[in-house]
């Protein structure tokens, strides 16, 4: 056993969860080292010409492999081997990592040194920064120049910028096909019943919510939840960000706190007003008493499906899936209609809301990898010709038909066709979402992948998600305090929302002050200081 895993085990003895992790690592280590000797002949040096190289690629395991396939051996893995591997004398081997413990497992893999895959990835920018800072990643800049021309063009400079750490290209960020995030939804049939117009501003929304509460148009027997709220970002972000006031550039750069891949408004002017509004909604019974327990939106989705919720904000696409929230609502409540609307309004009369960063996964090649060249070639292959298209869409006529150049998923594919793409999203790592060359086509393709009765509404929701987006604040150097404190502060941020919202109105002020003080002391101040310094440095250049 290596020294690293021994050390892991020491920490692990503290909690059973960690212990589990270690056990899984050991099992894993055993497996991978075996397969390495069998396929690679123990040769870890630079591949001599004519000698086959084994390229190990991480893949998320969601435990959903259909019968006849495994996460490491399936239609797509064979496709890759045939189209890429055989042409380049590379054996591509997938290394499964459970989706739910992605970062933890990745840490263990990285620490193991020799067993780490040649291509790894994470959604967490802090993890990427930490690896880069500790000197564990390969500089991909020169390799991209030499072997990744197509990939570079596909991703573009803006996306690639996200993979730089202090100016060096330590990661290849995946390109996100759609960056719109949120829309809001209202029970149109309730409005019609009460003879109310669609609310256009936050103030009007308040009046509407009040009416929902008092008149209970859904006849829920007093169980009505006028505003569906949770402690997941899709519900609170659109509300809170609409309270953020106009700022100077300096305020934007220094006061924003980036925790993980999102910006957080905790120090921005107006944030407190947003909390105050939530406090008012809570104390007047307009949001669920248990919203602070609902981290995964499960309870809220259930309440929407059973027709208790009047209004809510959500990822633009989430309610439209087959057998999803809207589908089930229509089945449970006769005549229920949800309309996509844009309501929360800021001080300039805009429906300001956050958007996604243009990148998705951070794809990395560990420094200990001997196959960095093949790794870049693999990603470059994926971006070339119609390879990505085939990985994402499967086989024409069996999986999709082309309508005006846009692949439309077959509504009733054969079992074989359906199983073909079960891991498509996790294998086609260079892109987050389907890429068809233009945003317009990407959006159209997404609409067409949903049940026909929702096409029109989803198109509206997508448009709303793109309206008045607040751009992410990009600093030209990593903020160390963010990497260090993000997880802790994210928890504290959610705690601030829950505690201030649930406090009695007369205790709001004191709760807010105490919580903010705790936030600042736990790393918020350190981030603020570092960002202020970074801004000054940027301006002085």
Partner 1 sequence: MSMGVYFRRYWQLYALLVLPLSYFLIFKYGPIYGIQIAFKDFNLFQGINGSEWIGFDAFKEVFGMRDFYITLRNTLMLNFLDLLVSFPAPLILAIMLYELKTAWFKKLSQTILYIPHFISWVIIGGIVYQVFGTQSGMINNLLTSVGLEAIPFLTDKNDWLVTYLLVGVWQSAGWGTIIYLAALTGINKELFEAAGIDGAGRLKRIWHITLPGLKPTIIVLLIINLGHMISIGFERPYVIGNLAVREYSDVLSTFVYRIGIQSGQYTLATVIGLFQAVVGLVFVLGSNYVSKKLTDESIL
Nearer to partner 1, 130 or 353 (CB): 130
Shortest Å distance, C-beta 284 to partner 1: 14
2 binds partner 1 (CB under 8 A): yes
Nearer to partner 1, 410 or 494 (CB): 494
290 binds partner 1 (CB under 8 A): yes
520 binds partner 1 (CB under 8 A): no
Among 409, 499, 507, 532, binds partner 1 (CB under 8 A): 499
Residues 225-244 touching partner 1, rule: CB under 8 A, are 225, 231
488 binds partner 1 (CB under 8 A): yes
502 binds partner 1 (CB under 8 A): yes
Q: Is the dihedral of CA 221, 226, 231, 234 positive or negative?
A: positive
95 binds partner 1 (CB under 8 A): no
Decide if 265 contacts 271 (C-beta within 8 A): yes
Among 99, 152, 272, 367, binds partner 1 (CB under 8 A): 367
Decide if 52 contacts 38 (C-beta within 8 A): no
Nearer to partner 1, 4 or 453 (CB): 4
Shortest Å distance, C-beta 121 to partner 1: 16
Among 43, 397, 491, 537, binds partner 1 (CB under 8 A): 491
| Six token digits for residue 341 | 């609307």
Rounded to whole angstroms, how far apart are CA atoms 491 and 297?
Answer: 17
Nearer to partner 1, 124 or 316 (CB): 124
Rounded to whole angstroms, how far apart are CA atoms 365 and 375?
Answer: 7
168 binds partner 1 (CB under 8 A): no
Tokens 């290849």 appear where? 172
Rounded to whole angstroms, how far apart are CA atoms 64 and 76?
Answer: 14
The β-bridge relationship of strands 353-354 and 469-470 is parallel
Residues 206-225 touching partner 1, rule: CB under 8 A, are 223, 225
Nearer to partner 1, 252 or 494 (CB): 494
DSSP-assigned letters across all residues of 125-167 = HHHHHHHHHTT-B---HHHHHHH-HHHHHHHHHHHHHTTEETT
| Six token digits for residue 191 | 């409005």
Nearer to partner 1, 288 or 345 (CB): 288
Of 10-18, 74-82, 458-466, 470-478, the segment contacting partner 1 by CB under 8 A is 10-18
Of 1-9, 51-59, 158-166, 175-183, the segment contacting partner 1 by CB under 8 A is 1-9
Nearer to partner 1, 100 or 453 (CB): 100
The continuous run of DSSP H or E covering 331 comes out as helix 325-332
Among 46, 149, 289, 539, binds partner 1 (CB under 8 A): 289
- SS in 3 state form for 369-418? CCCHHHHHHHHHHHHCCCHHHHHHHCCECCCEEEECCEEEECCCCCHHHH
Shortest Å distance, C-beta 110 to partner 1: 5
Among 72, 487, 525, 532, binds partner 1 (CB under 8 A): 487
322 binds partner 1 (CB under 8 A): no
16 binds partner 1 (CB under 8 A): yes
Nearer to partner 1, 260 or 269 (CB): 260
Of 36-44, 89-97, 110-118, 439-447, the segment contacting partner 1 by CB under 8 A is 110-118
Q: Write down how long the chain is.
A: 541
Rounded to whole angstroms, how far apart are CA atoms 332 and 220?
Answer: 13
Rounded to whole angstroms, how far apart are CA atoms 176 and 465?
Answer: 15
Nearer to partner 1, 24 or 488 (CB): 488
Scored b (16 or more CB within 10 A) or e, 347-366 reads eeeebbbbbbbbbbbbbbbb
| Six token digits for residue 48 | 């001599």
Nearer to partner 1, 188 or 522 (CB): 522
| Six token digits for residue 22 | 């270690």
Which one, of 129, 71, 37, lies nearest residue 362 by Cα? Answer: 129
111 binds partner 1 (CB under 8 A): yes
Among 66, 98, 136, 269, binds partner 1 (CB under 8 A): 136
Q: Is 10 exposed, middle or buried (0-12, 13-18, 19+ CB in 10 A)?
A: exposed
Nearer to partner 1, 112 or 355 (CB): 112
251 binds partner 1 (CB under 8 A): no
Rounded to whole angstroms, how far apart are CA atoms 310 and 227?
Answer: 6
257 binds partner 1 (CB under 8 A): no
Q: Is the dihedral of CA 148, 153, 159, 160 positive or negative?
A: positive
Compute how many residues bind partner 1; rule: CB under 8 A: 55
The continuous run of DSSP H or E covering 508 comes out as helix 508-519
26 binds partner 1 (CB under 8 A): no
Which one, of 29, 55, 54, lies nearest residue 40 by Cα? Answer: 54
Q: Is 210 exposed, middle or buried (0-12, 13-18, 19+ CB in 10 A)?
A: middle
481 binds partner 1 (CB under 8 A): no
Nearer to partner 1, 151 or 225 (CB): 225
3 binds partner 1 (CB under 8 A): yes
Q: Give me the residues that bind partner 1 (CB under 8 A), please.
A: 1-4, 6-11, 13-18, 21, 103-104, 107, 110-111, 113, 126-127, 130-131, 134-136, 223, 225, 231, 288-290, 292-293, 299, 367-368, 484-488, 491, 494-495, 498-499, 502, 518, 521-522
């Amino acid at each position: 056993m290596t020294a690293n895993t021994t050390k892991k085990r020491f920490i692990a003895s503290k909690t059973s969860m960690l212990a589990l992790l270690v056990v899984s690592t050991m099992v894993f280590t055993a497996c991978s080292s075996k397969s390495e000797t069998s396929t690679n002949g123990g040769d870890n040096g630079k591949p001599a010409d004519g000698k086959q190289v084994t390229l190990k690629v991480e893949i998320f395991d969601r435990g959903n492999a259909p019968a006849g396939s495994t996460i490491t051996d399936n239609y797509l893995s064979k496709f890759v081997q045939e189209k890429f591997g055989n042409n380049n004398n590379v054996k591509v081997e997938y290394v499964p990592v459970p989706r739910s413990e992605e970062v933890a497992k990745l840490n263990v893999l990285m620490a193991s040194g020799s067993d780490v895959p040649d291509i790894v990835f994470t959604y967490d920018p802090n993890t990427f920064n930490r690896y880069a800072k500790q000197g564990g990643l390969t500089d991909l800049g020169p390799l991209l120049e030499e072997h990744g021309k197509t990939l570079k063009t596909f991703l573009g400079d803006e996306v690639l910028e996200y993979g730089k750490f202090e100016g060096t290209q330590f990661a290849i960020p995946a390109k996100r096909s759609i960056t719109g995030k949120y829309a809001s939804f209202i029970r149109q049939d309730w409005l019609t019943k009460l003879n109310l117009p669609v609310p256009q501003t936050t103030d009007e929304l308040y009046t509407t919510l009040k009416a929902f509460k008092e008149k209970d148009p859904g006849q829920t027997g007093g169980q009505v939840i006028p505003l569906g709220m949770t402690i997941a970002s899709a519900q609170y972000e659109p509300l809170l960000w609409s309270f953020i006031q106009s700022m100077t550039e300096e305020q934007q750069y220094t006061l924003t706190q980036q925790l993980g891949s999102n910006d957080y408004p905790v120090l921005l002017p107006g944030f407190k007003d947003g909390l105050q509004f939530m406090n008012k909604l809570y104390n007047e019974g307009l949001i669920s008493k248990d919203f602070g327990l609902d981290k995964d939106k499960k309870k809220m989705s259930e309440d929407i499906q059973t027709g208790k919720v009047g209004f809510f904000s959500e990822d633009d696409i989430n309610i439209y899936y087959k057998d999803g929230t809207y589908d089930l609502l229509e089945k449970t409540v006769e005549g229920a209609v949800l309309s996509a609307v844009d309501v929360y309004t800021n001080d300039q009369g805009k429906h300001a809301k956050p958007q996604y960063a243009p990148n998705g996964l951070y794809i990395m090649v560990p420094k200990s990898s001997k196959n960095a060249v093949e790794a870049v070639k693999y990603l470059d292959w994926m971006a070339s010709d119609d390879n990505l298209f085939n990985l994402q869409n499967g086989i024409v006529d069996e999986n999709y038909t082309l309508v005006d150049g846009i692949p439309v998923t077959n509504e009733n594919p054969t079992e074989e066709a359906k199983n073909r793409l079960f891991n498509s999203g996790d294998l086609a790592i260079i892109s987050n979402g389907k890429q068809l060359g233009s945003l317009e086509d990407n959006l159209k393709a997404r609409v067409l992948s949903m049940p026909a009765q929702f096409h029109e509404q989803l198109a509206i929701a997508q448009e709303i998600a793109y309206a008045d987006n607040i751009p992410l604040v990009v600093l030209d150097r990593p903020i160390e305090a963010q990497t260090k404190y993000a997880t802790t502060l994210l928890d504290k941020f959610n705690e601030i929302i829950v505690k201030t919202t649930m406090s009695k109105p007369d205790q709001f002020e004191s709760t807010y002050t105490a919580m903010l003080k705790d936030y600042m002391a736990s790393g918020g101040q350190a981030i603020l200081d570092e960002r202020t310094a970074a801004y000054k440095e940027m301006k002085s250049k």
